[in-house]
Amino acid sequence: MKSAPFYITTPIYYVNDKPHIGHAYTTILADVLSRYHRLAGAPTYFLTGTDEHGQKVQRAADKAGISPQQHADATVVHFQNLWKRLEITNDDFIRTTEKRHTKIVQACLQDLYDRGEIYKSEYDGWYDVTSETFVTEKDIPEGKTPEEMPNIVRIKEANYFFKMSAYQQWLIDYIKDHPSFIQPEHRRNETLGFLRKPLQDLCISRPKSRLAWGIELPFDKDYVCYVWFDALVNYISAVGYKTDDAMYEKWWPHCTHLVGKDILTTHTVYWPTMLKALGTVQPKRIFAHGWWLSGDTKMSKSLGNVVNPMDMIDRYGVDAFRYFLMAEMILGQDANFSEGAFIRRYNADLANDLGNLLSRVTNMIRRFCDGKVPALPDGELDRESSEVRDAALAAAHKCFNFVEDMRIDLALTEIINAVKRVNKYFEVMQPWSLAKKDDKTDLHTCLYVAAEALRILSSLLQPVMPEKMNALRGALGLREPCKAEDLQKFGIFPSGSEVSEPGPLFPRIEKKDAPAASEKAAPAKSVPAKPAPATAVEGVIEYGDFSKVQLRVATVLSAEKVEGADKLLRLQVQIGDTPRQIVAGIAQHYSPEEVVGKTIVVVANLKPAKIRGVESNGMLLAASVGDKLRLVTVDGELPPGGVVK
């Protein structure tokens, strides 16, 4: 990733409602991009904020019986509090009611007016009170008339207009000459398609007689500024435009705007022409992402299908929510949100792969190396170890390239694939078997390589899951923050670092079914008791039959899902000096990381069998009631292989 300055903005969010998943997604995306650039060593500035003027705010305030400023002050905290919960690391939060912003908006208006870029004229036509925009007949949906639409009203009034039409050909040429200016490409083409029609001048005022809540025009006290002209200026007012030239020159030319596709035109047509008229440079990039859908429908308050970010993070945690949003959406395309999809990805990527790997690494080091990461033995790495090293380093290289290309989903896929490779490494090397050898070289190599790979991969995941990756690194004994240069090196993990029991980093999410009515006990009938003859009892066995079953204490060394089988886990267990593999149908009740390290009871002399093509050498014991299942474990410390009597 390049180390040039990186300035990123979200849209400023309208304060007439509470934040939803769309707000959360864009802000988390900006935060993740900021964190990756900081990790790469690039100077980074991250701006977000709120849009607090306009007719909707005034109406909401009137309805509540308070002033518009009081309404904005009460509503903005919803965004500020959520950003804290979501671990957002913005450098600035701008509100359009702040003096620093108002001053710059008025300076821009006066500058354009003085140079003849703004003029006064009378408008006679239709006005959309919902979007606060003037509309033409062609903007009315087919089959409808303006009179049939309650949000469309007829207006005849004098207003001020910005000569946007004068810049139409310039904008077309600029977009064509700068292919990366609008991304992704289909949004660039959409803007060029919009520009095939004659561009109208932009009304940039509203008379105070109709709307009093806004920034007053410096050249006419009877008008306030149109909310979109006001809002867009925040991107430059926050970084020193007309107040701090050094700050402005440092950040503005490197700006990336993140926007939803529904505000594409305002950002790719209105904004560039405004900047051109002001005589300043354009942002580096405008990137429009897609919508989160529920089924095939955009989430909307009116449909009642909006996901509340607070609900999701209360149920599943902040970092898991951040991970899902980043991994699930291909930037620029729409994505479907469902709780089922969330749980599937969480269980697969985080509980089964990443959480299981941490449990394996820390458990093996604690068991076989007195809890301290061994030193990497001298000499060349074997093939398997070399492949793990290469996978971790390749993930670091590709990750930053994908982030630069705005493909965070691919970056995360690369990282999780490397995690899977380390899990496979454990299966091939079988450190529980290497531990029995007198020569510990192979064991120490295996455990060091796995820990070192996890150091790199956890660092790459930290921008997405900062809290959980701090916990993971702490369990590995890593205390220093990760650095960009350390992600290009393999073999720098400090040997002797003391690992700790991490607990389930990502506890598996189980499907919770409502209790069935049939579970309620029926009233007992009064029936005369009859002594049953001994011969009527079925399933009775002789002691000699039971004595054939050998029950032993076993320690679970590792666990992973059986591919293609939702219910099965493949366990490596230690029974005395003998490790063996057992396939158990417990995957819907325990994640792999939850069983690693447990001391369980197994049937040790069961005839080997193949389950889904995987050999199983034994059976663990579990108890179940209805849908609940729990492993039979040993109370207290017993060595593996102990006889259960």
> What's the rounded mean pLDDT across residues 352-365?
95
Q: Is the pLDDT of residue 500 over 50?
A: yes
Q: What is residue 553's predicted lDDT score, i.e. its pLDDT?
A: 79
Range 24-47 average pLDDT: 96
pLDDT in tens, 119-174: 999 988 788 777 667 776 666 776 777 777 777 888 888 999 999 999 999 999 99
Please write the tens of the pLDDT for every residue from 553-603.
Answer: 788 877 888 877 778 888 888 786 667 888 988 887 887 767 777 788 888
Structure tokens at 115: 């140079």
Buried b vs exposed e over 414-446: b needs ≥16 C-beta within 10 Å?
bbbebbbbbbebbeebbbbebbeeeeeebbbbb
Whether the per-residue pLDDT at 209 is higher than 80: the answer is: yes
Contacts of 463 (CB under 8 A, 6+ apart): 31, 32, 35, 36, 39
Q: Is the predicted pLDDT of residue 414 greater than 60, yes or no?
A: yes
Residue 491 in this model has a pLDDT that exceeds 50: yes
| Mean pLDDT along residues 367-377 | 96
Q: Which CATH class is domain 336-488?
A: mainly alpha
Whether pLDDT at 16 is above 90: no
Please tell me the predicted confidence (pLDDT) of residue 551. 86
Q: What does CATH list as the number for 542-631?
A: 2.40.50.140
Between 463 and 504, residue with greater pLDDT: 463
Mean pLDDT of 415-427: 96
Which pLDDT score, from 0 to 100, does residue 527 have?
A: 37
pLDDT digits (tens, 9 = 90+) for 286-299: 999 988 877 655 55
pLDDT range class, residue 635, cuts 50, 70, 90: low
Strand order in the sheet with 569-575: 578-584, 569-575, 551-561, 599-603, 619-620
Tokens of 172: 């077309």
Predicted pLDDT at 145 = 78
Beta bridge partners of 631: 622
Strand partners, 47: 9, 92
pLDDT grade for 534, boundaries at 50, 70 and 90: very low
pLDDT above 80 (res 118) = yes
Least confident segment among 153-162, 240-249, 412-421: 153-162
Between 601 and 475, the higher pLDDT residue: 475
User: Domains of the chain: which residue ranges?
Assistant: 6-289, 336-488, 542-631
* Residue with the larger pLDDT of the pair 598 and 529: 598
Span 329-344, mean pLDDT? 88
Spatial separation of the C-alpha atoms in residues 426 and 490, rounded to whole Å:
18
Residue 518, pLDDT > 80, answer: no
Asked if residue 111 has pLDDT above 80, the reply is yes
Q: What is the predicted pLDDT for the residue at 627?
A: 66
pLDDT of residue 224: 97
Calpha distance 366→350 (Å, rounded): 22
CB 261 within 8 A of CB 290: yes
When pLDDT is cut at 50, 70 and 90, the band that residue 625 belongs to is low
Q: What pLDDT is stored for residue 95 in this prediction?
A: 98
What whole-number distance in Å separates Cα of residue 293 and Cα of residue 341?
12
pLDDT of 285 > 50? The answer is: yes
Q: Which CATH class is domain 6-289?
A: alpha beta
- Comparing 31-40, 158-167, 349-358, 629-638, the range with the smallest average pLDDT is 629-638
Instruction: Report the percent of the chain where pLDDT is more than 90.
Output: 62
One-letter amino acid for residue 633 of the chain: T
Q: What is the mean pLDDT of residues 176-182?
A: 97
DSSP string, 126-194: EEETTTTEEE-GGGSPTT--GGG-TTEEEEEEEEEEE-GGGGHHHHHHHHHH-TTSEESHHHHHHHHHH
Which pLDDT score, from 0 to 100, does residue 344 have?
Answer: 93
What backbone torsions phi and psi does residue 311 show, to the nearest 5 degrees? -65, -40
C-alpha angle 631-569-391 in degrees, rounded to nearest 5:
135
What CA–CA distance (Å, rounded) separates 133 from 231? 14
Q: What is the mean pLDDT of the chain?
A: 87
Query: What's the pLDDT score for residue 519?
Result: 33
Percent of the chain with pLDDT over 70: 88
Rounded distance, CA 329 to CA 321, Å?
A: 13
Question: Residue holding tokens 């001391």?
Answer: 599
The residue among 233 and 602 whose pLDDT is bigger is 233
Check: CB of residue 130 under 8 Å from CB of residue 150: no
Strands of 205-207's sheet, edge to edge? 205-207, 220-225, 216-217
Q: How many CB atoms lie within 10 A of CB 621?
A: 14
Task: Give the tens place of pLDDT for each residue, 254-264.
Answer: 999 999 999 99
Q: Residue range 214-230: average pLDDT?
A: 95
DSSP-derived 3-state class of residue 519: helix
Evaluate if residue 521 carries a pLDDT over 70. Answer: no
Confidence of residue 352 (pLDDT cuts 50, 70, 90): very high
The whole-number pLDDT of residue 241 equals 98
Per-residue model confidence as pLDDT tens digits over 45-89: 999 999 999 888 998 899 999 999 999 999 999 999 999 999 999
pTM for this structure?
Answer: 0.81
345 within 8 A of 59, measured Cβ to Cβ? no
Q: With DSSP H G I counted as helix, E B as strand and the rest as coil, what are the percentages for the chain, rounded to 5?
A: 45, 20, 35
* Confidence at residue 541, expressed as pLDDT on a 0 to 100 scale: 62
